[in-house]
């Protein structure tokens, strides 16, 4: 007869739900780093980084955490790719200009198109 | 590469931050001492060289040179976006590396959240178009 009044406590189920509701930390969105590389290194890749930075926060605040993580990884990848390309381009430019081995067509382009302009 | 760029233990972090600070100061001295307009060694923008149109980053080296000499007007004419974004970048660096106790997390979510990222994207595209119109 006592079994009728016995109700199992629902505590563990509630705990499990509570654990699921805790959101993970917001992944770093690499926003200012991608702005730096947009200005200084490689414009298209830097802009891709900014777009993914916007995506990270939008997805995170809509509760799509795994997709936000993926977007954060993409943002990091684009930003680092732009940074590395910028470094390589600068090193190439400096070696070419300091050794005086600049190809003829490059000199022509600079004379015709970009006299007075520097990056 | 990833091990250098994303250090795990404390010693590697300190080493990386010392290296980055020294390189940052060296670059600042370089940009203060030499004029990117006159020196050939400063890299030119490939987009400008091949298309004849300016990219959103064109003029940022000359703008940095002018800013270091406190010529705000000249810097503004070289690259207005650069002048506007420098304080913003310093805010970002402060929030990420010097705000250890996360006292300004509201500031971070305001200036480095979803709306700011979209705003900056739109500003860059608009600036890119506008500076090539005239």
pTM of structure: 0.73
A32: pLDDT strictly greater than 80: yes
- Residues of B in Cβ contact (< 8 Å) with A25: none
Chain B residues with CB-CB distance to A50 below 8 A: 117, 120-121, 124
Tell me the pLDDT band of B1, cut-offs 50, 70 and 90.
Answer: very low
Which of B5, B40, B46 lies nearest to residue A89, judging by beta carbons?
B46
Domain ranges of chain B: 1-33, 40-131
Q: Is A70 on the interface with B (CB under 8 A)?
A: no
Whether residue A50 has pLDDT greater than 80:
yes
Average pLDDT over residues A17-24: 65
Nearest chain A residue to B87, by CA: A32
Check A109 against B50: CB less than 8 A apart: yes
Interchain proximity A119–B82, CB inside 8 Å = no
ipTM higher than 0.85? no
Q: Which residues of A touch B48 (CB under 8 A)?
A: 113-114, 117, 119
| pLDDT tens digits for range B99-111 | 777 777 788 888 8
Angle, nearest 10°, between helix axes A31-40 and B114-131? 10
Angstrom distances, CA of residue A22 to CA of A27, A60, A62, A65: 15, 13, 14, 11
B80-88: Cβ within 8 A, 24+ apart = B80/B127, B81/A39, B81/B56, B81/B123, B81/B124, B81/B127, B82/A39, B82/B57, B85/A35, B85/A39, B88/A32, B88/A35
Interface-testing mutation among B113, B116, B125, with chain A (most A C-beta atoms within 10 A): B113
Chain B residues within an 8 Å CB radius of A39: 56-57, 60, 79, 81-82, 85
The pLDDT of residue B26 is 93
Interface of A with B in 83-102 (CB under 8 A): 89-90, 93-94, 97-98
- pLDDT recorded at residue B108: 81
CB within 8 Å: A36 and B89:
yes
Average pLDDT over residues A66-70: 87
Please return the burial class of A4, using the count of CB atoms within 10 Å of its CB with bins 0-12, 13-18 and 19+. exposed
What does the pLDDT read at residue A87?
87
Return mean pLDDT, chain B: 84
> CA separation (Å) from A33 to A21, A43, A87, B27, B96?
31, 13, 15, 17, 11
Cβ A45 vs Cβ A80: under 8 Å: no
Tell me which residue has tokens 């149109």: B53
More confident position, A1 or B101: B101
Parent domain of A40: 24-113
Cβ contact, residue pair B60, A54, below 8 Å: no
B13-55 pLDDT tens trace: 888 888 989 999 999 999 999 888 877 778 888 788 778 888 8
3-state helix, strand, coil in chain B (%, to 5): 70, 0, 30
pLDDT averaged over chain A?
Answer: 75
Confidence band for B6, pLDDT divided at 50, 70 and 90: low
Domain count, chain A: 1
Tokens representing B90 are: 């310093």
Q: Between B26 and B2, name the one with better pLDDT.
A: B26
Token digits of residue B88? 């913003």
Asked whether residue A2 is assigned to any structural domain, the reply reads no
Q: What is the predicted pLDDT for the residue at A119?
A: 46
- B45 contacts A119? CB cut-off 8 A: yes
């Amino acid at each position: 007869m006592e079994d009728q009044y016995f109700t199992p406590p629902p505590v563990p189920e509630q705990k499990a739900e509570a654990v699921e509701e805790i959101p993970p930390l917001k992944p770093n969105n690499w926003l200012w780093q991608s702005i730096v590389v947009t200005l200084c290194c490689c414009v298209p890749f830097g802009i891709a980084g900014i777009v993914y930075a916007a995506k990270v926060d939008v997805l995170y605040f809509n509760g799509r955490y795994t997709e936000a993580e993926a977007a954060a990884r993409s943002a990091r990848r684009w930003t680092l790719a732009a940074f590395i390309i910028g470094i390589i381009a600068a090193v190439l430019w400096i070696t070419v200009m300091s050794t005086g081995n600049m190809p003829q067509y490059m000199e022509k382009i600079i004379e015709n198109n970009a006299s007075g302009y520097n990056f | 590469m990833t091990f250098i760029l994303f250090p795990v233990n404390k010693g590697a972090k300190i080493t990386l931050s010392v290296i980055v600070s020294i390189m940052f100061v060296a670059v600042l001295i370089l940009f203060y001492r030499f004029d990117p307009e006159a020196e050939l060694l400063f890299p030119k923008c490939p987009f400008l060289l091949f298309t004849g149109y300016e990219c959103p980053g064109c003029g940022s080296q000359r703008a940095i040179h002018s800013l270091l000499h406190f010529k705000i007007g000249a810097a503004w004419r070289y690259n207005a976006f650069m002048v506007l974004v420098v304080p913003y970048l310093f805010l970002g660096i402060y929030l990420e590396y010097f705000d250890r106790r996360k006292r300004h997390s509201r500031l971070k979510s305001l200036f480095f959240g979803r709306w700011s990222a979209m705003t900056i994207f739109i500003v860059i595209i608009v600036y890119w178009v506008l500076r090539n119109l005239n």
